[in-house]
Structure 1
Amino acid sequence: MNNRLTTARSVVFQDYQDIPRPVSMIIVEHDPEPSMIVPRHSHPRAQLAYSVKGTFTLHTEEGAWLVPPNRAVWVPGGVEHEMHARGQAVSNRSLYIQPDASPDLPTECCVIEVSPLMRHLIIEAIDIPLLYDEAGRDGRVMRLILDEICGAPKIPLHVPMPRDARLLRICRALLADPSHDGDIEYWAHHGALGRRTLTRLFRDQTGITFTLWRQQVRLMEALRRLSSGTPVTTVAFDLGYESPSAFSAMFRRVMGKTPRHYLGRSDMDLD
């Protein structure tokens, strides 16, 4: 660890892996770019990346997770991952956590709800020294953050990724353009395999049908657009829904809330 980290923070995530404390935090800001990618990497500590502003996607060999504002994604230590964002400013607070900090921490990648308490604790932690007093108030704040992570509800903003190269070609194309209106025959041709092979192999390797996987990708894209201020009506039609009400019904069925209530916005054009 660079000695200057005892008094100043770094913007390099590797500098936070050996700090002799259970939890450390880095603040990351990205200006709007057509396509921003944090290249594939891993680190010994687990990471909780909390989105303050903007929406990004975490990618691993196992799947992709969407992280809207005021939610967070958990990445266990040692898991190779990369982060993508498109056309928007992104601001996040990444907590790096020792693997043995708590036995109740998640063991797999997941997106979690960030409670109002956790949000305020993370804000408070910004001013906590890197080498904080573990037995004092700062240490208690960090332990309470751990408790909040362990008890946080998980959100179904994830799609599993297949291993077959032909299916991966299809999935990556859909992740790049979720609004593509090609039917299953089109995607079978895109992957250079038959329709029956596509449907059978996709279920075998992901545990869900191709149709359900595609619906989940579109939900994730809808959240990304809604988070950036796109009206519900525009999102619904762009993603192929017959009406805004049909889209909102699907959203509520999966997320348990309407788009307006999920994103905490009163200016949306439709529930």
Structure 2
Amino acid sequence: MPILSELLSKIDWVEPDEVPRPIVVFGTMMDEAGAIELDLHRHQKGQIILVQRGALSCEVEGGLWIVPPRSAIWIPGGALHAIKASGALEGYNAFIDPAVAAGLPATCCAVSVTPLLKELLARAAHLPYLYEEGGANSRLVSVLLDEVAAARVEDLHLPMPSDPRLRRIADQMMAAPAERQDLAAWARQAGMSERTLMRLIDRETGMSFGRWRQQLGVVLAVKWLAAGASIQKVAADLGYESAPSFVTMFRKALGASPGRYMAERHPGRALG
């Protein structure tokens, strides 16, 4: 199977929608100097992308997902999506036929990865495109499908607004998260009242302004930590006055401190 860095140059690329098998798995590898930026596109087959090293950001029809190491993102068939990554990236990319995806989520979501799921993807990535059906290979992909369906959903989703005024605000906040303007300042900049802006944010994202900004901090923190940034730097870049206040927010959002959360995904690695 080709690796993802080769897919970008179309070397040995086979369109997964055209492969008559229920699951097609590719290996993923990109060195430190590489970068991936795939513009909006869609597949007939559903897609699960497992990240072993590095981090992906994926925008899917109104939402942004961050995928840290030892996590994966599930993208249902037909969903319009764009993918970005920078730096080193390793993992697996599986395409699943809708005919066998009935037990999988109907919407995009980030999921945690068990050791069994990782090993099944690794094994399936070494199968030929047209692997023999009805025997051991079919049993392998069947168990793989069961593991994908059983994967635990992770809260690494940031709803993205479609209203142009809100999208401009969201883009500015993502570009400079340390500039923590209050709601009144953003409302003045957008030329609307605070109340109107509050209603618009709730309607477009299902969150309050404060909750959305906190979730923005969570997904950016996971992305930066996965790329090797220290807890102190992430806290500063998000505009926190101290690292402990950032750690408290992170623990409340994801149930573990940044150090523990990333250590579970990078055994032997300590964050400072």
Same fold (TM over 0.5): yes
Residue identity in the other structure for 2:261: Y
- Counting only pairs closer than 5 Å after superposition, residues 85-124 of structure 1 correspond to structure 2 as 85-86=85-86, 88-124=87-123
What's the counterpart of residue 143 of structure 1? 142
Stretch moving more, 113-122 or 11-20: 11-20
Stretch moving more, 94-103 or 148-157: 94-103
Q: In the aligned structure 2, how far is the partner of 1:182 from the partner of 1:30?
A: 37
What's the counterpart of residue 42 of structure 1? 42
Offset at 1:255? 1.0
Q: 1:117 to 1:238 in 2, by over 3 A?
A: same
Aligned-pair RMSD on alpha carbons? 2.1
Q: In the aligned structure 1, how far is the partner of 2:70 from the partner of 2:91?
A: 9
* 2:23 counterpart of 1:20: no
8 Å CA contact 2:180–2:239 kept in 1: the answer is yes
What's the counterpart of residue 128 of structure 2? 129
Q: In the aligned structure 1, how far is the partner of 2:35 from the partner of 2:174?
A: 13
Residue identity in the other structure for 1:187: W
What's the counterpart of residue 56 of structure 1? 56
- Counting only pairs closer than 5 Å after superposition, residues 74-93 of structure 1 correspond to structure 2 as 74-86=74-86, 88-93=87-92
Residue identity in the other structure for 1:215: Q
Residue identity in the other structure for 1:73: I
8 Å CA contact 2:55–2:226 kept in 1: the answer is yes
Residue identity in the other structure for 1:85: A
Offset at 1:57? 0.8
* 2:245 counterpart of 1:246: yes
- Counting only pairs closer than 5 Å after superposition, residues 106-255 of structure 1 correspond to structure 2 as 106-255=105-254
Q: In the aligned structure 2, how far is the partner of 1:187 from the partner of 1:30?
A: 39
Q: 1:187 to 1:27 in 2, by over 3 A?
A: farther
Q: In the aligned structure 2, how far is the partner of 1:113 from the partner of 1:197?
A: 37
Secondary structure in structure 1 of the residue aligned to 2:249: helix
Offset at 1:91? 2.9
Offset at 1:33? 6.2
Secondary structure in structure 2 of the residue aligned to 1:66: strand
Q: 1:190 to 1:49 in 2, by over 3 A?
A: farther
Deviations 1:213-235 (CA, angstroms, capped at 9, x unpaired)? 11101111111111122111221
Q: In the aligned structure 2, how far is the partner of 1:194 from the partner of 1:29?
A: 48
- What fraction of aligned residue pairs are identical, expressed as a percent? 34
TM-score normalised by structure 1 residue count: 0.88
Q: In the aligned structure 2, how far is the partner of 1:113 from the partner of 1:156?
A: 10
Residue identity in the other structure for 2:67: V
Offset at 1:93? 1.6
What's the counterpart of residue 255 of structure 2? 256
Q: 1:192 to 1:92 in 2, by over 3 A?
A: farther
Offset at 1:26? 2.3
Secondary structure in structure 1 of the residue aligned to 2:210: helix
Q: 1:84 to 1:189 in 2, by over 3 A?
A: farther
Offset at 1:32? 4.6
Secondary structure in structure 2 of the residue aligned to 1:100: helix
Secondary structure in structure 2 of the residue aligned to 1:135: coil
Secondary structure in structure 1 of the residue aligned to 2:120: helix
8 Å CA contact 2:178–2:236 kept in 1: the answer is no
Secondary structure in structure 1 of the residue aligned to 2:117: helix
Q: In the aligned structure 2, how far is the partner of 1:178 from the partner of 1:14?
A: 40
TM-score normalised by structure 2 residue count: 0.88
Offset at 1:23? 0.2
8 Å CA contact 1:179–1:218 kept in 2: the answer is no
